[in-house]
Amino acid sequence: MTRVYLEKGRTKIVACALDWPGWARIGTTEDRAVAALTAYADRYRLITADAGLTFDPGPVEIVDTVAGVNTTDWGAPGVPVAEDSRPYSAAAGRRSAAILRAAWRALDELAQTAPPTLRKGPRGGGRDRDEIVTHVVDNDRAYARKIGIRHRPFTPQDHMALTALRTAILDVLGSPADGAPLTGGGWPPAYAARRFAWHTLDHVWEIQDKS
């Protein structure tokens, strides 16, 4: 079974796979959110293959439903669930790190190969390629504070700074932990891994769709 939880906002519902960081999609109803999630299985499989993982999802099993927040209605998973407070195993850390590396590789490749000007549409606010890449890097730096990492602002062209940030994130999320938030007011590691991976992949797929 594919364990999925639903995060229900006022206008949107996010369906998130608990065991596969980054595999999360939105809909205006529960059925539409789950349908969107399953529709992206083949695209997500490309990421897991690059990560060296076997991805063979079974039927969806809804294991939890949580109330969303404003972030949910923006279309992002914004709420940790009870499962996230359980111990975060070494195996979970290895899988999260592998998926994050693959997601970042996909973004970095698109930063070089996708057309600079993308087709316009409501998704993403009409940003072009370099604006999306900068947005993801800036958000990774902001998200990193939620797991106890602080880095000065930098541009995506600063490869040393980008590598240092990503290495620090992988060092934290690739390591076992007790499931508690990683810093005061921060995120537990399982949720953090989902949020980092979801945000990168959401914009990877956006760039692909608008190229």
Q: What is the DSSP string of 90-106?
A: HHHHHHHHHHHHHHHHH
Position 116 pLDDT exceeds 70: yes
Confidence bin at 125 (pLDDT 50/70/90):
low
Position 49 pLDDT exceeds 70: yes
Calculate Rg over the CA atoms of the chain: 16
Alpha-helix runs per DSSP H in 51-154? 70-73, 90-113, 129-144
- The pTM assigned to this predicted structure is 0.96
Tell me how crowded residue 91 is: count the other CB atoms within 10 A of its CB: 9
| Structure tokens belonging to residue 68 | 């969303």
